[in-house]
Amino acid sequence: MKKYQIIIYGSYGYTGELIVDESLSKKTTILLAGRNEKRLKIQSEKTGYPYKAIDLNNHEALVELLNEGEVLINAAGPFINTAPQMVEACIEAKTHYLDINGDIKVFEIIKTYDEKAKLAGIMLMSGTGFDVVPTDCVVLKLKNKMPDASHLKIAFTNI
């Protein structure tokens, strides 16, 4: 049994903070993580969540961190520089991987780990930020509701 349901790596960045703030209203066990111990400590004091500072280039420490969580949310970019290390460590730790990335090159890199992830019994899901997966789901729903439509425009607002 893993100690935390979710590890949020890059928790103190813009989107990471949004994820952490949303998590506060849930009954979820969270571990804050990232490279900057000072920022993690401040965030931990504000939220009450524990934290660990980890260097992504220390594979053993990263695997040790991920052994504590069921799911990793990678909110630390640039993802071309963080995703490969995270995915490899997630496979070893048998921890599910999610990220908020929208870069097609990162999708392609993560796809190369598909067989290893299946063997480890974990999911690798890139693009869970608002710009990819949710919009694709909306498009599919609209296509199914209006199969004869030939054009689609999507716009977002925070009204």
pLDDT tens readout for residues 47-71: 999 999 999 999 999 999 999 999 9
Q: Containing domain of residue 19, as a range?
A: 4-129
In a domain, 143, yes or no: no
Q: What is the pLDDT of residues 120-148, one digit of tens each?
A: 999 999 988 766 667 778 888 988 999 99
In a domain, 146, yes or no: no
In a domain, 139, yes or no: no
Residue 37 maps to which CATH number? 3.40.50.720
pLDDT: which is higher, 159 or 7 = 7
Q: What is the number of domains present in the chain?
A: 1
Asked whether 95 and 119 are in contact (CB, 8 A), the reply is no
- Give the pLDDT of residue 158: 65
In a domain, 52, yes or no: yes
CA dist., res. 78 & res. 64, Å (int)? 23
